[in-house]
Every structure is written in C-alpha cells, then in structure tokens.
C-alpha cells in the first residue's frame, strides 16, 4: 500500500482500524471489520499501519516457554496440510509468484482446492506408508470455496481436527455446527459447535472409524446448536473424506 493511498484514508477509518488492532471492539464489531478486510483496501492499509505502530508493545510481555509437546502438535497439523519437501529454487519461485493468486483463490472460490489436494496427495505418495489418515476439504456449496480442512486418523487415539483456512462470518445469533455421516448411518452425528477461525478438536472414540467418502459438513444453526440433534439450517461447508497415506 503506497503512502499516497494511505494518505487519503478518512480519520474514522484510522479510528476503527486502531480500535480493531488494539482489541477494544466488541465481538460483533470485530467480525464486521474482519468481513470488510477481505476487500476493503483502505481499511487493510489502516489496519496494517496500526499493527506495525503497536507491535513494539508486545515487547512489554515476558516470553513464556512453550511445553515441548506444542511444536510436535504443530508439526503434526502442518504435516497433513503442507507440501512435504522443500522445493528446488525454480519451484519456490513458482510458489511465491503464484501464491497470492492461489490464496486469494482459496478465499474467493475457484480451483485452488485442486491444487491443495494435489499437493497433499502427491506429497503423501512420495512418503513411506504411515498410519491411515483421512482428509476432507470442506467447501461452500455455492461457489466451492474451501473454508476448512478436516483431518482424522483411522486408528490410535482417534480424533477429528477441523482446521480453518480463513475467517468465516456467522450472524450474531447463529453458530456453525459440525456434523458427520458415514454410509449406512441413519442420520448425521453432531461433532459440536465451531468457533470461526479456530481449530476444533473432537475425540471420536465412540464413533466407528472414519470411512472413505464419509460426509462432513458445517450447518448454520441457532447459537446454542440445533434444537433437534439433527441439522436444521443451511449447509455452509461440505466435503467427503479422502484417504491419505
């Protein structure tokens, strides 16, 4: 963002951006700003400027040593998502060049889902066989924009992880509810309510192991969840499990 463009930002926008970065906006206003940030370049510039202005204040906080488990958890999550090997230089250049478009595509909808899945699947084929895992990319039904990734292991301490690829907007009086249904089940089973932008981890020891093609979806429900125990609202994101090794 050039300084000439930021120079034309009205004071109210600087004020809104400042309160947003400071953290003093109430939850509903925060979500409004997050929604606007997707395509409001002036607001983006104002927010970035405040992030850099206030960043030194993080130096007033003492660091806290993370538990040794934390990095292992991060690695496991990244394993399931990332292109696995460092790329040679020309390839890296491609990624860097294309990455903006790729990730804009991910939020705006489009083909990027294929690139993501291809990267994961190709990467996985090149690795030695590990325990069977399943992966699901949940996309919006209307524009096929990927919004979430689900990872599940088929054995061991079984847990399903729902990982956001971005921030989604949910009306204030509503909540997203996470469901799954395998072939032969009479109805979807709730895996809980979802906080937009945050990973949800659900122990699924009580459920049968994840199967190929098992359905996962997020529906829009009342804030306290579906009153009937079955999905009642519109499907916001949906996908089927793919086995990755």
Partner 1 sequence: MSRDPPIVTALPEFDYEATLAACAAGERAALQRLYAQEGGRLLGVVQRIVRDTALAEDIVHDACVNIWTRAASFDPARGSARGWIYSVARHLALNAVRDLAREVEVDDDTAAALDARASLEAWHDMADAFVWQDSLGRIGPCLEQLEPVRRNCVLHAYVDGLSHGEIARRLEAPLGTVKAWIKRSLAALRECMG
According to CB under 8 A, which residues from 107 to 136 bind partner 1? none
Helices (H), 127-228: none
Instruction: Give rounded-to-5 percent helix, strand, coil for the chain.
Output: 40, 25, 40
Distance CA 1, CA 217 (A): 38
Give min distance, CB of 111 to partner 1, in A: 16
Contacts 24+ apart (CB under 8 A), 82-89: 82/119, 82/120, 82/123, 83/119, 83/120, 83/123, 84/123, 84/124, 84/126, 84/127, 85/123, 85/126
Which tokens go with 199? 């990973």
Nearest CA to 208 among 230, 238, 241? 241
Query: Residues binding partner 1: what is the number (CB under 8 A)?
Result: 68
Distance CA 86, CA 78 (A): 14
Site string for partner 1, 71-110 (x = CB under 8 A): x-xxx-xx--xxxxxxx---xx--xx--xx-xxx------
Give min distance, CB of 214 to partner 1, in A: 23
Segment interacting with partner 1, rule: CB under 8 A, options 60-68, 132-140, 184-192, 229-237: 60-68
Site string for partner 1, 156-195 (x = CB under 8 A): -------xxxx----------------------------x
Give min distance, CB of 217 to partner 1, in A: 21
Give min distance, CB of 30 to partner 1, in A: 6
User: Mapping DSSP to helix (H, G, I), strand (E, B) and coil, where does residue 38 land?
Assistant: coil
Give the nearer residue to partner 1 in terms of CB position, either 120 or 204. Answer: 120
Give min distance, CB of 17 to partner 1, in A: 9
Question: Judging by beta carbons within 10 Å of its beta carbon (0-12, 13-18, 19+), is residue 219 exposed, middle or buried?
Answer: buried
Residue in 11, 129, 184, 227 binding partner 1, rule: CB under 8 A:
11
Under the binding rule (CB under 8 A), the answer on residue 224 touching partner 1 is no
Site residues (CB under 8 A) for partner 1?
Answer: 1, 11, 14-15, 18-19, 21-27, 30, 44-45, 47-49, 51-67, 70-71, 73-75, 77-78, 81-87, 91-92, 95-96, 99-100, 102-104, 163-166, 195-199
């Amino acid at each position: 963002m050039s300084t000439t463009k930021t120079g034309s930002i009205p004071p109210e926008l600087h004020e809104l951006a400042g309160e947003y970065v400071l953290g003093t906006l109430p939850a509903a206003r925060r979500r409004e700003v997050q929604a606007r940030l997707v395509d409001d370049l002036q607001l983006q510039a104002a927010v970035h400027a405040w992030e850099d202005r206030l960043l030194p204040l993080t130096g007033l906080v003492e660091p806290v040593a993370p538990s040794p488990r934390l990095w292992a958890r991060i690695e496991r999550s990244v394993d399931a998502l990332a292109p696995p090997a460092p790329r040679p230089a020309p390839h890296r250049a491609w990624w860097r060049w294309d990455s903006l478009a790729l990730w804009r595509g991910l939020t705006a909808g489009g083909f990027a889902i294929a690139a993501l899945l291809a990267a994961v699947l190709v990467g996985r084929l090149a690795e030695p066989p590990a325990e069977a895992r399943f992966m699901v990319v949940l996309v919006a039904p209307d524009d096929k924009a990927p919004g979430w990734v689900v990872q599940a292991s088929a054995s061991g301490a079984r847990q399903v992880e729902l990982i956001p690829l971005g921030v989604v907007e949910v009306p204030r009086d509503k909540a997203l509810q996470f469901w799954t249904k395998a072939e032969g089940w009479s109805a979807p089973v709730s895996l809980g309510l979802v906080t937009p932008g945050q990973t949800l981890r659900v122990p699924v020891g009580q459920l049968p192991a994840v199967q190929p093609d098992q359905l996962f979806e997020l529906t829009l429900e009342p804030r306290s969840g579906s009153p009937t125990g079955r999905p009642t609202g519109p499907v916001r994101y949906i996908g089927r499990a793919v086995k990755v090794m």
